[in-house]
A = this chain, B = another copy of it.
Amino acid sequence: MKATLNCLPCIVRQGVDAVTRATDEPELRRAAMSAAFEALSRAQLDETPMALGGAVHEVIAEVTGCPDPWEEVKRESNREGLALYEELTATVAEADDPLLTAAKIAIAGNIMDFGALATFDVEATVQEALAGDFAIGDFEDFRPRLATAKNILYIADNAGEIVFDRVFIEQMGGVAVTIALKSSPFINDAMLADARQVGLDRTARLVTVAPGATSGETFDKAWEQADIIIAKGQGNYEVFSEAEGPVFFLLLAKCPVIAAHIGVNLRDMIFQSQAGRRGDR
C-alpha cells in the first residue's frame, strides 16, 4: 500500500513523538525535525508509509544520538502484556473454540500501537474482541491450512502485542513457527530483545527484517519455506499488501487511510487472506 498525502501529517506526528522522547533539548529536537523534513523532501512520497516513517526515524536517531526513543516504552508494554498472559491463556483454555479465541486475542493485542494511537485500553479491547466478530473473516480458510501446515512465518508488529501473538502461536500445535521482528528501531515495533523478553524465543525461531522492507537474508528463506504467512498489524499490511504468498493479514483498523484501503470501519477486526483480498480465491 502506497502512502497517501493524508499519511504525511501522521508520519510527521510520529517523528515529533520520537524527538520528544529522544531528547529534552529544544534545539536538538528542532534540529532533528529539520533533518526529518529534509529526509521527507528527498523521499518518494508514494513509498509505503512505513518506509517513509523509517527514513524519518533513521535521521532522528542520528541527529539526537538516541537510537531507540521507544526503548523504555517497549519494555513496559512487554511487562503489561506479560501481566495479562495467564489470564489470556486461561480464557483460551476455557473457550469453545480455543484457536478462534486466541486469534481474536492476537488481533486485540494490536491495539498496543503508539504509532497510531496516543493511549489505549488493552483489557477493554480484549473484551470487545472476544464479544465481536471479524469485519473480514477468512479464519475458516486459515483453520484447515493450519491443520496441514509445516512452517509458519509470523511477521510481528508491536512490543507488548507480541505476548498476545504468543498466546495465538501456542494454539498452533506442532507447526514450526518463525517470527520476524524489526532489525532496527521503529516506533514501538518489536525487535529481538522484545521477543526474548516475552519468551517467544522458547516457542519459535526468530528472524529480522528492516522497517518497511519486504526482503532480507534470513527473512526471505522463512518466507519461501512458509505454508502460511501471518502479517500482523497496520504497518505489515502497508508493506505486504501487494506481496505474493499465502499471507493472512491480522489487524485492528486504527487509521482512516488503511480502513479505507481495506474497505472497513475504524476499530474493525480484520482476519483477511491475501487471496481473499485479491478476490482470486
Chain A, interface size: which category? 20 to 34
Say whether A45 faces chain B, with CB atoms less than 8 Å apart: yes
Taking a contact as CB atoms under 8 Å apart, the answer to whether A45 and B34 are in contact is: yes
In the complex formed, the residue of B with least CB distance to A16 is B5
In the complex formed, the residue of B with least CB distance to A36 is B41
C-alpha gap A33/B47 in the complex (Å): 14
C-alpha gap A38/B40 in the complex (Å): 8
**Please, could you name 6 A-B residue pairs with CB atoms under 8 Å apart, sorted by A?**
A5-B19, A6-B16, A30-B44, A30-B46, A35-B41, A41-B41
Give per-residue flags for A28-64: 1 if the beta carbon is below 8 A from chain B beta carbons, else 0: 0110011101101111111000000000000000000
Residues of B within 8 A of A40 (CB): 34, 37
Taking a contact as CB atoms under 8 Å apart, the answer to whether A45 and B16 are in contact is: no
Q: How many copies does the complex hold?
A: 2
Q: Return A167 CB to nearest CB of chain B, in Å.
A: 35
Say whether A13 faces chain B, with CB atoms less than 8 Å apart: yes
Residues of B within 8 A of A8 (CB): 12-13, 16, 33
Closest 4 pairs between A and B when the two form their complex, measured CB to CB: A37-B41, A38-B41, A9-B13, A37-B40
Q: Return A262 CB to nearest CB of chain B, in Å.
A: 21
Pick from B9, B26, B29, B43: contact of A12, CB under 8 Å = B9
Q: Return A15 CB to nearest CB of chain B, in Å.
A: 8
C-alpha gap A147/B105 in the complex (Å): 68
C-alpha gap A33/B43 in the complex (Å): 11
C-alpha gap A3/B37 in the complex (Å): 16
Interface of A (DSSP majority class): helix
Pick from B33, B44, B45: contact of A45, CB under 8 Å = B33
Give per-residue flags for A103-124: 1 if the beta carbon is below 8 A from chain B beta carbons, else 0: 0000000000000000000000
C-alpha gap A44/B45 in the complex (Å): 23
In the complex formed, the residue of B with least CB distance to A13 is B9
Residues of B within 8 A of A42 (CB): 34
Give the interface centre of A6, A29, A30 by most chain B CB atoms within 10 Å.
A30
Taking a contact as CB atoms under 8 Å apart, the answer to whether A16 and B9 are in contact is: yes
Residues of B within 8 A of A45 (CB): 30, 33-34
C-alpha gap A20/B9 in the complex (Å): 14
Say whether A10 faces chain B, with CB atoms less than 8 Å apart: yes
Taking a contact as CB atoms under 8 Å apart, the answer to whether A20 and B5 are in contact is: yes
Q: Return A135 CB to nearest CB of chain B, in Å.
A: 25
In the complex formed, the residue of B with least CB distance to A44 is B30
Give the interface centre of A9, A20, A46 by most chain B CB atoms within 10 Å.
A9
Taking a contact as CB atoms under 8 Å apart, the answer to whether B29 and A5 are in contact is: yes
C-alpha gap A34/B41 in the complex (Å): 4
Q: Return A190 CB to nearest CB of chain B, in Å.
A: 25
Give per-residue flags for A166-200: 1 if the beta carbon is below 8 A from chain B beta carbons, else 0: 00000000000000000000000000000000000
